[in-house]
Structure 1
Amino acid sequence: MLELKNITKEYRTGEETVQALKGINLKFRSNEFVSILGQSGSGKTTMLNIIGGLDQYTSGDLLINEKSTKDFKEKDWDTYRNHSVGFIFQSYNLIPHQSVLSNVELALTLSGVSKEERRERAREVLTKVGLKDHINKRPNQLSGGQMQRVAIARALINDPEILLADEPTGALDSETSEQIMSLLKEIASDRLVIMVTHNPDLAEEYSTRIIKVLDGEILEDSNPATAIETRDSKVLKSEKTFMSFFTALGLSFNNLLTKKGRTILTAFAGSIGIIGIALILSLSNGVQNYISRIEEDTLSSYPLTIEESTLDMSVIMQALMGVNMSETDEVAEGKVTSTPIMTDVMDTLSNRQGSNNLEKFKEFLETDSRVSESTNAIQYGYNIPINIYSEDSVDGVIQVNPSQVMENIGMGQMMGDSSNPLQSAMTGGSMASSQMNIWKELLDNPELLETQYDTITGRWPEKHDEVILIVDENNSVSDYMLYALGLLSQEKLADNFESIINGEEIDPVDIPEYSYDELMDMTFQLILNTDMYEKEGDIWMDRSDDEEFMEEVVANSESLKIVGIMRPNEEAITGQETGSIGYTSDLKEHVITQTNDSEIVQEQKENPDVNVFTGLEFPEETGEGFDMANLTDEQRAYMASLSEEELAELISTYQENADATYEANLTTLGAVDLDKPSQINIFAKDFETKEQLEDLISEYNTQESDAGREENVITYSDLVGTMMSSVTSIINIISYVLIAFVGVSLIVSSIMIGIITYISVLERTKEIGILRSVGASKKDISRVFNAETFIIGLLSGVLGIGITVLLNIPINIVIKNMTGISGIASLPPMGGVALILISLILTVIAGIIPSRMAAKKDPVEALRTE
């Protein structure tokens, strides 16, 4: 089955050429026990390596089942070693970090045999060689004879046709040697066993054929074969050997476990760069989240506001600062000139005032999906008062919204005229007036509210008649709120103000404390504008000044109840409403719906030409008052019949009707169309989405302008501007620079891992030879060391992320104590995964060169390494 035809083997050492084999011609039978005897250096081991495919001949031919191997490629020799040859070495050549069972089944892992079948076959062959009870031990736990039996079992596992034994008894005592020789003789009964030995006595006793070699030539052959004998063979099987990556991982993992200390230190060294980048990423992510919270909270108080009547204040401010001024001509010496700032302001006022079609714009906001993606909430404002009264105040029935505190102390006029947009913006009148009203509409975004506030007691409102009380971080509210809600006396406050103005001393006010239950028991009464009118005959009379009437209205009105007390979350930075009563947009819509459905509003809408307050027709032009000259004789006669009081009342009614309009009456009653807001507040998620919203508004304006609908173009003021828009960019730049610096350490760590992998290659050189002897290809060897770097890279990445997460705990504690901000160091999960992948990739790249060096090692030289 095997024939060597004129085989020569030459080695080059420097400039010299040494002939190890000189034209060897041999034929072997399919089952015989052949012993090759010879002195050291005679070429017997070289012949054995060539027969086994570990070494290649220089010339001649090796025939296997009469097939030449001259054209064999590397993969063919790998297949041949795996399927047809089994090696038994003098020094056993077992992999120390693998168990006995794993050492034996190693060849099967390259043959594509399933794990279950591998284990079963390995147990069978170990039982055959007498090691059934030692399968889970490591080689260093066995005696020399037992280790040689493991080597024999490994050689037999793939049922090879040829068993090659290189001095199998050289390291054994005589008794053990005889046991091993008996086992080999038994094996030779059904296959070819070729043994190289120095012991002629053992060869004579157990071999069926002895070949003596000297200086690379055959001296004597005791039983030469005259013809090649063959049997059903797997010698030239064509399937490739292949080691799966999981098998490579197993080999490398077990090897790393034998060097736990070095492995952990290596992984830690490799993780240093990961730790640095992960810490920077944690802080950067935390700061970005903190900035996002600031932006979100800030924009909760400073939305993009679009009003029905508009004036672009940014242009006014530019005019006031002289931004739009052009350079003046050179002034003659001795002369003083002026710049037209106020002229520019007046020109701007005359050209920039206008109105916005909010009905059309509302339709755009509700139909364009991009708007909802960029906003936390959109609030629609209407020219309606939400009149809320309290029956339980210390002063009796009082109006708590709009607040009457400033009116009662005589400071109502100091709040400014919010009807003038220029005055309002320049004096802060509307803002001050807004701050004086403690009833605030909540954002229509429960998720955002829950991130900004903590629930002290109760819950968030779910219906239109439910409200919440919002206190500050110290569970406190201002005394102004107590006066506004009627918990403190507004009458006494007014008396104290008057006393102060008169220079009199006042007694200090005792500010009480309230339990949660006391505050939660408070109820308020919702009064519509239409509730203040009573029909007398054909006209509706305003009875808001009738104290007895109003008390009855309040007593029979709808109640509002406090269902929760909220406090600003410590993580919320700004923009919270504190010291206020919060209600939902449902209350506003409820007021609008109930008002529109009221009798007086329905009557006015059904008779658009008649003033329901006077019973008279609206004048064709406002200001058209009572004129005796326009009366008929019949009307004069009627008036002459009236008393002085009746005549005065009639004239007053006509004068009242003179300036009345249908639209003004509906406004007075609070009747509005939900589709026609007077103001729109758009709350962006952050400054980036705020810019996107501005782009959407610009796009909308361009679209309407191009369509010739200039009346739909929107003008608005953005007082917040780019207050914080550049902060995120600055943080990003700083983070990138720091990551770049730390990235250098990551690269250095990867190079170090490459060096350590090279050291591992040197340490595992013999293992490389063993793997090649059982049929592992160069790619398989490379895969083993790539698997090792993969494990180290993975361990480095996981270790780095784990250490970072642990370090973030004290970092957050320190930052919390220094700044009061918690959770600032927060590693994003996807960032952690990405860093582990980066560690893997860099480490595997660093191990490519060492793994290729391992693959190129000569298997014969590798097996000789100690």
Structure 2
Amino acid sequence: MAFLELKNIRKSYYLGKTEFPVLKGINLNFELGEFVSILGESGGGKSTLMNIIGGLDRKFDGEVVVNGETLDHKQEKKLDVYRRKTVGYIFQSFNLINYQTNLQNVETSLNMTTLTAVERKQRATELLKQVGLGEHINKYPGQLSGGQKQRVAIARALAADPDVMIADEPTGALDSVNTTEVLELLNQIAKEGKLVIVVTHSQAVADYGTRILHMADGVIDEEIQLKDKYDAEANKAARLTSKPLKGGALWKMAFDHLKFKKGQNILITLGSAIGIFSVMLFLGLGNGIQGYISSQVTDMVNPQVIQISKKTNGKNPQAADITTADVNQVKSVKNIKSATAGFYIPTFTAKVENKTINNIQLIQTVTPAVQKSGITKGHMPGKNEIVVDSGSVAQAWNKKNYKKIIGKTITVQIQAMDKQGKPVMASRKLKVVGYQTIGSLVTKATMTSMLKGAKADVQPNFIAAKVNTVDNVKVATKAVKGLTNAHGKKAFSVSGAGAILDTIKTITSLASYVLAAIAGISLLVSALMIIVTTYMSVAERTKEIGVLRALGARAKDVRKLFTNEALLIGGISAVTGLIAAYAVELIMNTALHGMIKYSIVQISVGNVAFAIIIAIVIALLASFVPSRKAAKLNTIDALAAD
């Protein structure tokens, strides 16, 4: 039984409805150990017949039987296995992959076998030595002569240990010396028990084989047996086991191509990295600004404390006074740990030494809301002591030497009314024990004593309620706002650091997201760059795609190759952008630390994850169409590309 049989093979091309027959019923048998030359002029159907034998052309009538089994050309997966396992190709134009070394070119076929990495390298090295290229293993195809390139192509075709070697005009681009050497190699392959089929228009080349099939006008019009076929017993030795192209090999090919086109890819990677860097920096800056403002606010005011005032209609000032009942009502709210009434006086007058300062804004009593860390210099006030506002009091007294106000005696005057509605002046000499950024502070006892001494009718006008945990501030605030008075109306309004911080965080987050979105426009540009690059890569490497498919690579292997390249660009861009962002973060934080004692840029783990995910998503989206276009290329058309 013949190893390879062609039964009534017919194929036509159509121009509109006009049929142009190319193969007109070819019936042939091929045995292992034969060196068969298909001889004929151009246009006779030789290449078309070769494509059908090699599993490249699927649209024809007739049967191809391999080792007793009919090859179903309608099943692409079976054709992939057939090309990978049974057929080796030697092309007239060599079709070597230019960004791979000669060793890597040969290993490409071996990557579709079960050999280990060490075994693949060893076999590829041995094959290159066998074809006389032992000294050129690590060179690139561009560094070889035509004859040397063809030898690499032969070594690659032999690598996966196929049964059938198909050579399309293997000596067409060679001189007479190299032609003889290549034919000797092909003859040796036949002697080793493989079926060698050479397509040629040269009688001299055809005469080298064991049999000549002359082809003209789509039929075999003459068959000449030159000599007996070689013994095929050697071909029964242990064979290599084929398997789909390894994922690791696809990643390596993608990386090798990036290195080969490093100038172009560096520019694309840099463009993408700038986008990632910009987005990361603005997000990190937003985090830092939020943290800085939060720390400044919480240094002055305890975020666990909410400030509560009574709701009034504005007609009765006494309606805003806080009573013991009000304090007890607030204390009853769930999550409220304590509640303290306090005084909040909008304006007062102070006299330091011989200087009077009028219309000073805000003096209030110490409550749990006040943080010790909020006092810039000095300490919390005690009996008959005061912490003054650094701007409106200390610097108003002496702008250059305002720090010296600590230890001075200050006369505080508060304008009020007595119970009969007559104006009175509450006054007290207090010792300055510190200063802070916003407002002045005295103890509740000091304020009460000062007001009583003037018989002023001023009552506590707010409650400082401490919540058990920061997490419960919102819940407690909502509960207090829900309290009602005797008339069934809402009794209290609430303010505090928590609400302020929430507003600040919302604003800064919005600002940082807007800036990051603006910076993200560069990511869209980089996505377009990746799309264009991948399209260019597909166009430039069309023949490479055809070679990979001819060697047995699947359509999805080709798709993965170009997707991997885009992912590598995206990944390298993300890493580069992150490194740059962290470097700028370090520089900015170091430069500003002496001024604000805070890290103003804080890139979080979430920001990093976001950047990596965005880079990957952009790369995948950018490569989606080009990689699929590459996978759908017709193998024959790809091989015929210039």
Q: TM-score range by the shorter chain?
A: 0.7 to 0.9
**Local SS of the residue matching 1:86:** strand
Deviation at 1:268, TM superposition (A): 2.4
**Local SS of the residue matching 1:70:** coil
Residues 459-483 of structure 1, C-alpha deviations (whole Å, 9 max, x = no match):
xxxxxxxxxxxxxxxxx99667779
Question: Of 319, 322, 330, which aligns to 1:344?
Answer: 319
Could you say which structure has the higher strand fraction?
2
1:304 aligned onto 2:305: yes
Question: Of 746, 761, 771, which aligns to 2:523?
Answer: 746
Paired residues of 1:314 and 1:719 also in contact (CA < 8 A): no
Deviation at 1:177, TM superposition (A): 1.1
**Local SS of the residue matching 2:323:** helix
Aligned to 1:149: 151
**Local SS of the residue matching 1:314:** strand
Separation (CA, whole Å) in 1 of partners of 2:280 and 2:228: 74
Separation (CA, whole Å) in 1 of partners of 2:163 and 2:224: 22
Question: Of 199, 202, 222, which aligns to 1:199?
Answer: 202
Q: How many corresponding residue pairs?
A: 544
1:837 aligned onto 2:613: yes
Q: TM-score, normalised by structure 2?
A: 0.73
Separation (CA, whole Å) in 2 of partners of 1:93 and 1:154: 11
Aligned to 1:88: 90
Matches within 5 A, 1:219-258: 219-223=221-225, 241-258=243-260
Question: Of 282, 285, 289, which aligns to 1:283?
Answer: 285
Give the residue type in structure 1 aligned to 2:624: I
Q: TM-score, normalised by structure 1?
A: 0.55
Question: Of 121, 128, 131, which aligns to 2:130?
Answer: 128
1:778–1:482: structure 2 CA closer, same or farther, 3 Å change rule? same
Residues 637-678 of structure 1, C-alpha deviations (whole Å, 9 max, x = no match):
xxxxxxxxxxxxxxxxxxxxxxxxxxxxxxxxxxxxxxxxxx
Deviation at 1:815, TM superposition (A): 7.2
Aligned to 1:187: 189
Residues 5-49 of structure 1, C-alpha deviations (whole Å, 9 max, x = no match):
111122234554322211111101111111111001111121112
Residues 271-301 of structure 1, C-alpha deviations (whole Å, 9 max, x = no match):
343333223213212212222322332335x
Paired residues of 1:20 and 1:43 also in contact (CA < 8 A): yes
1:719–1:760: structure 2 CA closer, same or farther, 3 Å change rule? closer
Unaligned runs of 5+ in 2: 341-352, 354-361, 382-400, 411-434, 439-462, 483-491
1:13–1:790: structure 2 CA closer, same or farther, 3 Å change rule? farther
For the aligned residues, what is the CA RMSD? Answer: 4.6
Bigger-Rg structure (1/2):
1
Deviation at 1:222, TM superposition (A): 0.9
1:104 aligned onto 2:99: no
1:790 aligned onto 2:567: yes
Separation (CA, whole Å) in 1 of partners of 2:149 and 2:519: 50
Deviation at 1:109, TM superposition (A): 1.1
Paired residues of 1:765 and 1:865 also in contact (CA < 8 A): yes
Deviation at 1:262, TM superposition (A): 0.8
Give the residue type in structure 2 aligned to 1:780: D
Aligned to 2:169: 167
Deviation at 1:82, TM superposition (A): 0.8
Paired residues of 2:23 and 2:219 also in contact (CA < 8 A): yes
Aligned to 2:548: 771
Aligned to 1:756: 533
1:275–1:222: structure 2 CA closer, same or farther, 3 Å change rule? same
**Local SS of the residue matching 1:77:** helix
Separation (CA, whole Å) in 2 of partners of 1:837 and 1:731: 23
1:748–1:188: structure 2 CA closer, same or farther, 3 Å change rule? same
Matches within 5 A, 1:492-507: none
Give the residue type in structure 1 aligned to 2:252: G
Deviation at 1:351, TM superposition (A): 3.9
1:58–1:721: structure 2 CA closer, same or farther, 3 Å change rule? closer
Matches within 5 A, 1:794-805: 794-805=571-582
Deviation at 1:864, TM superposition (A): 1.8
Paired residues of 1:87 and 1:163 also in contact (CA < 8 A): yes
1:827 aligned onto 2:607: no
Give the residue type in structure 2 aligned to 1:769: G
Paired residues of 1:6 and 1:61 also in contact (CA < 8 A): yes
1:736 aligned onto 2:513: yes
Structure having greater relative contact order (Cα 8 Å, sep ≥ 6): 1
1:718–1:822: structure 2 CA closer, same or farther, 3 Å change rule? closer
Matches within 5 A, 1:557-572: none
Give the residue type in structure 2 aligned to 1:857: L
**Local SS of the residue matching 1:188:** helix
Aligned to 1:695: 475
Paired residues of 2:100 and 2:256 also in contact (CA < 8 A): yes
Residues 597-651 of structure 1, C-alpha deviations (whole Å, 9 max, x = no match):
xxxxxxxxxxxxxxxxxxxxxxxxxxxxxxxxxxxxxxxxxxxxxxxxxxxxxxx
Paired residues of 1:167 and 1:195 also in contact (CA < 8 A): yes
1:152–1:681: structure 2 CA closer, same or farther, 3 Å change rule? same
**Local SS of the residue matching 2:225:** coil
1:349–1:149: structure 2 CA closer, same or farther, 3 Å change rule? same
Separation (CA, whole Å) in 2 of partners of 1:430 and 1:283: 35
Separation (CA, whole Å) in 2 of partners of 1:208 and 1:127: 26
Unaligned runs of 5+ in 1: 306-311, 324-338, 366-378, 382-408, 410-425, 442-475, 484-489, 494-567, 576-678, 703-714
Give the residue type in structure 1 aligned to 2:135: D
Aligned to 2:71: 69
